[in-house]
Structure 1
Amino acid sequence: MTTPADDQQLPDSTDTAVPSGAYAPFTYLNTPNAALYRRVMRALVTEKERFTVHVRPEQVHRALHADGGEPVTEDAVADALGRLANPVWGNLLAFPDSSRVTALEDFYRRRMLYQLSREGEAAERALAQYDTALGTRGALQAVALEDIVVLLTSLRDATRGRADLAPGADAATTHQAMRSLRERFTELADNAVAFMGSIQRTIDLHDADVEAFLAYKEQLIEYLERFIDDLVTRGARIAALLSEIPPDAVRLLVTVAAEREAQDAAPGEAESAVVTAQETWLRQWAGLADWFVSTPGRESEAKLLRSRARAAIPALLAVVRALHDRAGGRTDRTQDFLTLARWFADLPDDGARHRLWRSAFGLSSARHLTVTGETVEAWEEARLGNSVPWAEAPPLEISPQLRRTGSYERRGKPNRVQDRREAKAILAARSRHQAEQTAAARRHILTSGPRPLSAFGELDPQAFKLFLGLLGDGLAAMGPDATTAQVHTSDGELTVTLTRVPEAGVAVLRTPDGEFSGPDHLVDIASSVAGPEQPPPVITDDARQAVEVPV
């Protein structure tokens, strides 16, 4: 006597690939019927999400009929379920369906209930995540930066100067803020990586729709510029908030979140769950700090992202220029060579081809290696073939003079070699003096943080000339709409951050040659090479108040 379980089918040779241990549930993806198997597995995952544990073949058939795919028969669905439930693959678990048995004949019929196995469900979740990641283009989320500022501000206020949470800040609210902070930061980081990857593929013209790229190139560049501005301002604010939350407050927040998460742990596992959750939260907080705060030995991820996004703008413009050149039929050296090859093919004989070659490339014998007339006559009389050795051929006499088209060396006494050591010393001294003046001017205008223009006071002519150039570069980069701009000198030694402050007064800079006045701004001039790297500058309230007071 056999039971339905004994009649369980195994995959035949056409549907079975070699399984690889724990990855056997992925085996069906390499079979001819992989599309049908995938639809069946998605139908079972959908049913489980509706809290349906066991399904019958007719339920799966109805789900496949409603998913919009190709029509499939009930026998094909039943056969696919049986193959997915075989022990080799292990995607499904099969149980005899005895609920509808009313006679002995029904018992011998193959009626089965199917349930997702743990391995099969894990494989489908992984495939769904793969499909989602494959279709994600990513985005630069400026709103996420604002949300992170708001959440960090609330966490700072909840723990400011206290060994416990502030009044009115309960553990549930703090835990929810921590979870929201983690989710927003994870979304920001993941989407930024995906977006910059898609930008790089667009720049390399890999996996890029050229027409779509040309249609939205201006919006894309504007989008990058807006995100860079937000990252400069809000990134500095986030770094400042992280520095305002001391390690003791971080441990307090981590403990609150870990204890609330451990309340749902199984009996006997609460203590270990608290320790594990604390370690996880501390790692995630350290990751958040590393993303926004630079250290002397490492640049922050936000700074790297800002540099990468800024470099993507000229690269995108270069792609647009290349696409326009391609669309306009611009000729290049390749087209020249192809045209020249067609000309060679159309010529009647080798003599004409040699003349074309000499005309195209301008190749001729060297002017200082011309043979004499006697040599030419001797070679013509000898009528030698290509196989005659050079030793048996008439000698080759070369004229010591240039051709008539060349120029002869002027006869007479050669010019004396001039001693230029004194001139070189003068140039070296002048160059050293200019370098010292430039270095002194740079030291004079360096700031230790944002300063208003009106605080610079009087500048010497050399320092004012350098400062005026830096100010002009910063204003040009800022444009009429932006509020912040950051530029670097051509040698990369100075970094200038310029910030426009609304309703600022008039700044006056005094020099020995006169006065220079204009709207006041916050200026931060820092050296990019001297000393260890510092965290991003934070614009203090005192600096802002100094700008807002008219001079």
Structure 2
Amino acid sequence: MAERRTLDLDALAVSDRFRLFNFTRRDDHVTYLWILRAVDRLREVHQVQVGADEVAATLRELSAAHAEAPEIPAQGLRHRLDELAADGVVHRFDDASRAGTLARYRNRQSVYQFSELGYRAYHAVENLLGARAEDVNLSRLVFSDVLEDLGALAEANRTGRVEDVYRRLSRLDAVMEDMGRRSAQFHVTLGEILRSTEASSEVFLRHKNALLVHMSDFMAELDRYLPRLDRAVHEVEATGLSTLLSRAADVDERLFMDRTERLEDWSRRWWAVRAWFASESGAPTRAAELGRATRSAVSGVVALLRQITEAQRGGVNRSTQLRHLAAWVFDTPDDGAAHALMGAAFNTRSARHLGAAHEDGDEFAPTDSWHDAAGVEVSVTLFRSDRSPTHGVPKPVRRDTGARSELRRRQTEDREAERASATRLVQEGAHHRVLDDSDTKVLLRLVTKALESRSVVAGRMSSATGDDAGTLVKLVPSDRGSTVRTSRGSLHLPGFRLELASRARGARSTRRSTRGADSTRGDQSTPTRKGD
């Protein structure tokens, strides 16, 4: 379940949570760890918010009880607490009520307390430091407890005892989590034992009987209870799974989750229990997978035991072989014979050696040994296949059809909107209404083209025209001028009258905006645009 929740976090959330472990990567990480231990010790006596003086006093108590606890000066403690606050492990608050004098009031009086995620990060580090290989085991007694809880859960759901449903389901969830953790730790530790037996074969031989008996008993209990657990899971579901989960969500007292979230959480927990014991469509259960892994581990332990026994019976193992080889090399008459013996023992003569010219040929003398000279980069292709690397054929150009289709669709929509705006301008005119952004954009483009094409004849400004996509605008000299109202302000054209027409119909469809010109009579200032 924890793995499933972590998969829902994005990269930013993962980075923020990894930042909580920054104190473990600092040079004085042990000092930060003892500071957090002091804050945790104060929290245990229900002192949630603590100051630097209180942390320093607790550190002195820890130093008296533990010789490895560091002594931190008062001036460096506040800085380290601020660093922990910057990482998000603790929260920092300013508490002026702790200032007993005016001088202390003027200085910053900060108190600190664990953040929720910071407390979890601190406990994760403590659990890692407190882990012991001797504690791992496969609990074979848990199957009878799980079977009893499943039977009691079915009976409680059948009789409507809501609180018993919640208790039994919570206990099953805790047992499944503990069982998964134990099995993972056991097989990881067993793998380390199998890899390190040459250095600690005596330890392995001393504990081999207990290890084999432990795994054999676990497999026997698993094979005996697995069919009964499968039937018990289906009996629970037969009493009404939706009712079961709904009752658990109703009794759940987590205040910061609404009922829908609690219902989804309990549904995930039940499916985790079901995945352990209930078979479905021939797919193996988690318990069956654990059984196969344990059988494989038993085979590995037996094979390793046979290897160690044969090596001890013959008196020859890897360590004795290396010691004999070292003695032979030491007794050789010269260096050439020693190199030949080592080459034959480790098969170094069959290695393929590659060479290439160094960028600075004069940096090393030709007489220098390859052991003293700097190495050069050799391509992987030359190393693996003894062929010089090539650029290869050009890769095909990737065509993003979806992006191009989306871009083409947006361009089509923009063109249709401009055509509709041009049609409205011809049919309804530019006056006696407020133009929206689309109509204003088309009109400004037409007016710009018309102004660029105007000319001066006999000292007077002549009329000007401009067209775009079949829409024609004409600026006719007029003493009255004209004004166009838009959603963003008014556009004044002093000295000109604005006429719009469709180029396909020519001058017959020209809409003269004389009434709009009358509304701006006498306005002879320069062209301006101001807000309404």
Q: CA shift at 1:227, angstroms?
A: 0.9
Q: Counterpart of 1:509?
A: none
CA 1:303–1:207 in structure 2 vs 1: closer, same or farther (change >3 Å)? farther
CA 1:206–1:277 in structure 2 vs 1: closer, same or farther (change >3 Å)? farther
Q: Counterpart of 1:28?
A: 23
CA distances 1:166-189 after superposition (whole Å, capped 9, x unpaired): 2xx521112111111111122122
CA 1:259–1:136 in structure 2 vs 1: closer, same or farther (change >3 Å)? farther
Q: Is the 8 A contact 1:142 1:230 kept in 2?
A: yes
Q: CA shift at 1:35, angstroms?
A: 0.7
Q: Counterpart of 1:38?
A: 33
- Of all paired residues, the percent bearing the same amino acid is 20
CA distances 1:198-229 after superposition (whole Å, capped 9, x unpaired): 12222222798544332221111111111111
Q: Counterpart of 1:147?
A: 145
Correspondence for 1:61 among 47, 56, 61: 56
Structure 1 unpaired stretches of 5+: 1-18, 160-164, 358-551
- Give the letter for the 2:162 counterpart: A
For 1:221 and 1:342, how far apart are their aligned partners in 2? 41
Q: 1:456-471 alignment to 2 at 5 Å? A: none
Q: Counterpart of 2:274?
A: 289
For 1:312 and 1:83, how far apart are their aligned partners in 2? 47
Q: Is the 8 A contact 1:37 1:80 kept in 2?
A: no
Q: Is the 8 A contact 2:34 2:69 kept in 1?
A: no
CA distances 1:474-510 after superposition (whole Å, capped 9, x unpaired): xxxxxxxxxxxxxxxxxxxxxxxxxxxxxxxxxxxxx
Correspondence for 2:190 among 192, 199, 203: 199
Q: Is the 8 A contact 2:49 2:113 kept in 1?
A: yes
CA 1:319–1:80 in structure 2 vs 1: closer, same or farther (change >3 Å)? farther
Q: Counterpart of 1:183?
A: 174
Q: CA shift at 1:346, angstroms?
A: 5.5
Q: Is the 8 A contact 2:99 2:109 kept in 1?
A: no
- Give the letter for the 2:138 counterpart: L
Q: CA shift at 1:47, angstroms?
A: 1.9
Alignment partner of 1:338 is 2:325? yes
For 1:324 and 1:128, how far apart are their aligned partners in 2? 39
- Give the letter for the 2:155 counterpart: D
Q: 1:389-538 alignment to 2 at 5 Å? A: none
Q: Which has the higher contact order (CA 8 A, sep 6+)?
A: 1
Q: 1:147-296 alignment to 2 at 5 Å? A: 147-159=145-157, 165-166=158-159, 170-205=161-196, 210-247=201-238, 249-261=240-252, 265=255, 273-296=258-281
Give the CA RMSD over aligned residues: 3.8
- Give the letter for the 2:264 counterpart: E
Alignment partner of 1:80 is 2:77? yes
Q: Which has the larger radius of gyration?
A: 2
CA 1:110–1:212 in structure 2 vs 1: closer, same or farther (change >3 Å)? farther
Q: Counterpart of 1:128?
A: 126
Structure 2 unpaired stretches of 5+: 1-13, 345-532
Q: CA shift at 1:114, angstroms?
A: 2.9
CA 1:212–1:300 in structure 2 vs 1: closer, same or farther (change >3 Å)? same
Q: Counterpart of 1:50?
A: 45
Q: Which moved more, 1:96-105 or 1:299-308?
A: 96-105
Q: Counterpart of 2:298?
A: 313
CA 1:286–1:136 in structure 2 vs 1: closer, same or farther (change >3 Å)? farther
CA distances 1:256-287 after superposition (whole Å, capped 9, x unpaired): 111111x5546xx7xxx333223222332222
CA 1:34–1:135 in structure 2 vs 1: closer, same or farther (change >3 Å)? farther
Q: Counterpart of 1:523?
A: none
Q: Is the 8 A contact 1:137 1:195 kept in 2?
A: no
CA 1:151–1:208 in structure 2 vs 1: closer, same or farther (change >3 Å)? farther
Q: CA shift at 1:146, angstroms?
A: 0.6
CA 1:152–1:103 in structure 2 vs 1: closer, same or farther (change >3 Å)? closer
CA 1:137–1:241 in structure 2 vs 1: closer, same or farther (change >3 Å)? same
For 2:80 and 2:327, how far apart are their aligned partners in 1? 64
Q: Which moved more, 1:293-302 or 1:195-204?
A: 293-302
Q: Counterpart of 1:447?
A: none
Q: CA shift at 1:65, angstroms?
A: 2.8
Q: Is the 8 A contact 2:215 2:294 kept in 1?
A: yes
Q: CA shift at 1:107, angstroms?
A: 3.8
CA 1:313–1:119 in structure 2 vs 1: closer, same or farther (change >3 Å)? closer
Q: Counterpart of 1:138?
A: 136
CA 1:297–1:71 in structure 2 vs 1: closer, same or farther (change >3 Å)? closer
Matched residue of 1:142: which SS? Answer: coil
Q: Counterpart of 2:102?
A: 104
For 1:332 and 1:134, how far apart are their aligned partners in 2? 30
- TM normalised by structure 1 equals 0.50
Matched residue of 1:70: which SS? Answer: coil
Alignment partner of 1:299 is 2:284? yes
For 1:239 and 1:71, how far apart are their aligned partners in 2? 52
For 1:57 and 1:79, how far apart are their aligned partners in 2? 10
For 1:72 and 1:296, how far apart are their aligned partners in 2? 59
Matched residue of 2:315: which SS? Answer: coil
Q: Is the 8 A contact 1:56 1:113 kept in 2?
A: yes
Aligned length in residues: 319
For 1:95 and 1:332, how far apart are their aligned partners in 2? 64
For 1:245 and 1:20, how far apart are their aligned partners in 2? 41
Q: Counterpart of 2:467?
A: none
Q: Is the 8 A contact 1:84 1:90 kept in 2?
A: no
Q: CA shift at 1:134, angstroms?
A: 7.3
- Give the letter for the 1:234 counterpart: Y
For 1:303 and 1:21, how far apart are their aligned partners in 2? 38
- Give the letter for the 1:65 counterpart: R
Q: Counterpart of 2:458?
A: none
CA distances 1:327-362 after superposition (whole Å, capped 9, x unpaired): 567236956983995699359x99xx9xxx9xxxxx
Q: Counterpart of 1:470?
A: none
For 2:100 and 2:330, how far apart are their aligned partners in 1? 90
Q: Is the 8 A contact 1:238 1:292 kept in 2?
A: yes
- Give the letter for the 1:281 counterpart: W
For 1:128 and 1:207, how far apart are their aligned partners in 2? 31
For 2:271 and 2:302, how far apart are their aligned partners in 1? 37
